[in-house]
Structure 1
Amino acid sequence: MMPAPLTSTLGAFVAAIGREGAPADARAAAVTGFIDTCATTIAGRREPAVQVLLEASRPLPAGRAPLFFGEQATDASTAALLNGTAAHALDYDDVALRGHPSAVLVSTILALGAQTGACGADMLDAYVAGYEVWADLVDRETDIHHVKGWHPTGIFGAIGASAAASVLLRLDAGQCAHALGLGASQSAGVMSNFGAMAKPFHVGRAAQAGVLAARLAKAGFTASADALEHPQGFLAAVSPQGRVDRERPAAAGRPFQIADRRANVKRYPLCYYTHRALDGMLALRVRHGVQADQVAQVEVRMSQEHATVLRNHRPTTGLAAKFSIEFAMASALCNGRAGLAELGDACVQAPGVQRLIERVTVIPIPADDPQTPGAAYADQVFVTLRDGSRLEGEPVHQALGHARRPLDRTQLRAKFSDALAYGGHVGDAAALFERLAGLDCQERVFA
């Protein structure tokens, strides 16, 4: 017996979430995504990429969707684009499913939810639907999209956002399938734009694509019934080597993935592939009392797949430094941290940081982590001092903030507060945190 077509089966799954809601544990897992994305959106709203995009979008269309959790509002499509770009502008948003699901999904949901008057539970259901569809699709691929040049957030995000938006618009199964196909035709994002304004734009465009896809599908606009699984469809088109499973039945919601595969919350506003080595270097620095001027050489052992993403070996700007393991190690040694304050251009260009950047070497090791395709089982740092002694950092399998090493409520609140302060938020940060934490009980998210 032939399996049911993937596009239509996923469409039926999304429609069912819209009718029946998501399980309580799945909704609970989605809450952290809203908290973290709110924080990174506010923190990123003053970044040049966001401000340039905002000016280029003027005059803003009228609407009820708030921008950057502030007073200004516009229509859902524009809000999804701008908020999504802000959410990812600092590369501080959460990570899962080979990309950044919450920045895309939450930006889509908050923008469209403001228009539809969605309650908190509806928004959480929409997030779960988008997350599950994203997981189903990304899990079919054997190879690493980054290596081919694709940014997974942009290509899978447009489809995940279409699923989320479909829940909020209460589309039926056929309309949901069309929305997924329309999302697939808007998928985009290339690796060569990492370290430039275009990378967070991928997130904004994916969120905007979801709003448009669902609206079009509701109006009767169609996509192919097999847009995802066709030999010339989405999965085959983006597959790095064609080793993608287009035939197995849809697994979304059987069981729900989100409860066991929660997103990983970032402690540092740099590419997530730097985080294990950062944890290791910061711990080594404290344990041995290492000073930057003592260091002759730094060796980082990580997979070639992750090293390829960290493409900027001699960064001189904050944007470029986000994708530089050399900068991450230099900042850890020179500053004892790698936070928002260290990502200014002046900090990246500081002579001490630049000297250490030149002393960092990457040694590729096998990508043998069964839980994380493309990752080594553990990343590890080694430091050679000027006196010839060699210090060995502890191997780090999972960075703090990983779903299996989650931030506790105090740590999550601290990141939230710091991010809001960085973004110049003037409201009550503690009250906003609690409001988001209780999203499932919010009858009216937007006044």
Structure 2
Amino acid sequence: MTTLTKHLGRFVADLSPNRLPDEATRIARMGFIDTIGTMIAGRDEDCVRILTETLAPGDGPATLTFTDRKAPAPDAAWINGTAAHALDYDDVALRGHPSTVLVPAILAEAEHLGSSGADMITAYIAGYEVWAELFVRDSGLLHQKGWHPTGLYGAVGAAAACAKLRKLDAEKSAIAIALGASQAAGIMSNFGTMTKPFHAGKSAHAGIMAARLAEAGFTANTDALEHPQGFLHAISPTGTEDRTSEPKAGQEWAILKQGLGIKKYPTCYCTHRAIDCMLDLVQASPIKAEQVDKITVNISDYFSTVLRNHQPETGLAAKFSMEFCMASGIVAQRVGLRELTDAFVQRPDIQALMRKVEIVTTTEHDPELPGAAPQDQVTVRLLDGRTIAGTPVARATGHPTRPLTDRQIFEKFADCLDVGHSSIPAETLFNRLSALQSITARELTAQA
């Protein structure tokens, strides 16, 4: 049997635009649309400013967060990936956030190379499929071990994507993947801080460097993924990873099966089903904060572990707080970018209502959504003795089985560009992205 790392190297090298299913291309294009929107929305966040000032990148061919400032591609990928994940509003799949790593890496290197949009989409699918191949080989929940999957799988997926973009052969693509594996990093204990989006940016940077080093003759072992002391075993929470079965990449399309979840809310995805439930509840039965005695949220033990901030005082920390999301759902009747501010989180009514939230967990998990309960539910008990139960939610709005409408997708994109004070009109940039196969990376990022 060909080793896994070598197989993936050959898969990446052989992938071509004319082999891609139309639906795979559509999903990849959606990844670019959503990520570039969230990148622009997040570009003024402190984590992006501090990283940019500290890196102090010189001039280069790659655009920084769709402004008129340029930088070398590795630095641009690092900064842009951090911006795209800064608000935790980017898409989700494969236990992580694939596009927030893949798109910044591809975009920066494509500007450097003068690549076409078709090449960018092919690179995205190469990265997604490699990420998916690793994802299916371990049923353990990396979050519970303390790993951030986006930082781990992302470095490998981005290396594959950049190897494709640079048109490396099978051997050098495998070496790039192995180099990506040695740069994988990210720990859960830094969630709710600037370091979580840093994981995404650093993985994008790692992907570019891995492909460039491999092309230049840097060496790595081409069994780095499946070796007994390799990537899969090193990150496995239980040591029961699959290192021997035949790879699926090239035999079936994971992107068609897994798709992308487009976030409706700029908070950790573990909150989304409960937010849906709460917002439906308050729409059907309007209630005010002063009427509430207790809010009970039923979620999985895994979701509860991820949502570590129970009484947040900043917008960043509130992204990982079920208590905040429930309070915002009642007070504002929405959970959006305007609510994820320090001032809103610190409001006395929000702080008081958060203390009335109780999290009840279950160890029963949905086999199709690793770590999630079969359903999440919210129940509100009022001071007058009444209890209002929301309809349980099994799939969040924006999940591939409950996709956002085309209108909702554009509205999210336009809202993100408004928040980021984009000089490029939302409709103009959206139209460019919708026709990505027909333009180049440099045409995409043009300010005019």
Q: TM-score interval w.r.t. the shorter chain?
A: over 0.9
Q: Aligned in 2, Cα 1:348/1:443: closer, same or farther, shift over 3 Å?
A: closer
Partner residue of 2:307? 310
1:144-293 matches, within 5 Å, as 144-293=141-290
Quote the Cα distance in structure 2 between the aligned partners of 1:438 and 1:367.
Answer: 43
For the residue of structure 2 that corresponds to 1:342, the secondary structure is: coil
CA contact (8 A) 2:59 2:71 kept: yes
**Residue identity opposite 1:163 in structure 2:** A
Partner residue of 1:325? 322
Partner residue of 1:90? 87
For the residue of structure 2 that corresponds to 1:341, the secondary structure is: coil
1:404-419 matches, within 5 Å, as 404-419=401-416
**Residue identity opposite 2:309 in structure 1:** N
Q: Aligned in 2, Cα 1:77/1:443: closer, same or farther, shift over 3 Å?
A: closer
Quote the Cα distance in structure 1 between the aligned partners of 2:435 and 2:43.
Answer: 24
**Residue identity opposite 2:52 in structure 1:** L
For the residue of structure 2 that corresponds to 1:34, the secondary structure is: helix
**Residue identity opposite 1:211 in structure 2:** I
**Residue identity opposite 1:10 in structure 2:** L
Pick one of 422, 431, 435 that aligns with 1:434. Answer: 431
Partner residue of 1:51? 49
Number of aligned residue pairs: give it. 444
**Residue identity opposite 1:435 in structure 2:** R
Q: Aligned in 2, Cα 1:386/1:19: closer, same or farther, shift over 3 Å?
A: closer
What is the deviation of 1:367? Answer: 3.5
Partner residue of 1:38? 36
Quote the Cα distance in structure 2 between the aligned partners of 1:120 and 1:304.
Answer: 42
Pick one of 6, 9, 15 that aligns with 1:17. Answer: 15
Pick one of 384, 387, 412 that aligns with 1:387. Answer: 384
What is the deviation of 1:110? Answer: 0.3
Residues 1:123 and 2:123 are matched in the alignment: no
Q: Aligned in 2, Cα 1:319/1:444: closer, same or farther, shift over 3 Å?
A: closer
What is the deviation of 1:20? Answer: 6.0
What is the deviation of 1:25? Answer: 2.4
Detail structure 1 runs of 4+ shifted over 4 Å in the superposition.
18-21
Pick one of 61, 72, 77 that aligns with 1:75. Answer: 72
Partner residue of 2:298? 301
CA-based RMSD of the aligned residues comes to 1.1
CA contact (8 A) 2:102 2:157 kept: yes
What is the deviation of 1:366? Answer: 3.2
**Residue identity opposite 2:118 in structure 1:** A
Residues 1:26 and 2:24 are matched in the alignment: yes
For the residue of structure 1 that corresponds to 2:338, the secondary structure is: helix
Quote the Cα distance in structure 2 between the aligned partners of 1:332 and 1:301.
Answer: 16
CA contact (8 A) 2:133 2:249 kept: yes
Quote the Cα distance in structure 2 between the aligned partners of 1:367 and 1:133.
Answer: 29
**Residue identity opposite 1:51 in structure 2:** R
What is the deviation of 1:28? Answer: 1.6
What is the deviation of 1:217? Answer: 0.3
What is the deviation of 1:325? Answer: 0.4
Quote the Cα distance in structure 2 between the aligned partners of 1:311 and 1:380.
Answer: 19
What is the deviation of 1:24? Answer: 2.7
Quote the Cα distance in structure 2 between the aligned partners of 1:217 and 1:18.
Answer: 20
What is the deviation of 1:22? Answer: 2.9
Q: Which moved more, 1:218-227 or 1:250-259?
A: 250-259
What is the deviation of 1:129? Answer: 0.3
What is the deviation of 1:444? Answer: 5.6
Deviations 1:293-342 (A, max 9, x none): 11110000010001100000110111110000010101111111110011
For the residue of structure 1 that corresponds to 2:248, the secondary structure is: coil
Identity %: 52
Quote the Cα distance in structure 1 between the aligned partners of 2:166 and 2:441.
Answer: 16
Quote the Cα distance in structure 1 between the aligned partners of 2:54 and 2:250.
Answer: 40
**Superposition TM-score, scaled by structure 2 size:** 0.97
What is the deviation of 1:365? Answer: 1.7
Q: Which moved more, 1:252-261 or 1:73-82?
A: 252-261
Residues 1:109 and 2:106 are matched in the alignment: yes
Partner residue of 2:137? 140
CA contact (8 A) 2:146 2:189 kept: yes
Partner residue of 1:360? 357
What is the deviation of 1:426? Answer: 2.2
Quote the Cα distance in structure 1 between the aligned partners of 2:361 and 2:419.
Answer: 35
What is the deviation of 1:445? Answer: 4.2
CA contact (8 A) 1:150 1:189 kept: yes
Deviations 1:9-36 (A, max 9, x none): 0110010115865333211210100000
What is the deviation of 1:408? Answer: 1.1
**Residue identity opposite 1:203 in structure 2:** A
Quote the Cα distance in structure 2 between the aligned partners of 1:407 and 1:377.
Answer: 21
CA contact (8 A) 1:305 1:367 kept: no
**Residue identity opposite 1:57 in structure 2:** L
What is the deviation of 1:61? Answer: 2.2
Residues 1:370 and 2:338 are matched in the alignment: no
CA contact (8 A) 2:17 2:122 kept: no
Q: Aligned in 2, Cα 1:413/1:81: closer, same or farther, shift over 3 Å?
A: same
Quote the Cα distance in structure 1 between the aligned partners of 2:226 and 2:22.
Answer: 31
**Residue identity opposite 1:234 in structure 2:** F
Quote the Cα distance in structure 2 between the aligned partners of 1:171 and 1:89.
Answer: 31
**Residue identity opposite 1:158 in structure 2:** A
Quote the Cα distance in structure 1 between the aligned partners of 2:19 and 2:175.
Answer: 21
What is the deviation of 1:443? Answer: 4.5
**Residue identity opposite 1:45 in structure 2:** R
Q: Aligned in 2, Cα 1:227/1:75: closer, same or farther, shift over 3 Å?
A: same
Deviations 1:247-266 (A, max 9, x none): 11111132111123111000
CA contact (8 A) 1:348 1:354 kept: yes
Quote the Cα distance in structure 2 between the aligned partners of 1:444 and 1:94.
Answer: 21
CA contact (8 A) 1:133 1:252 kept: yes
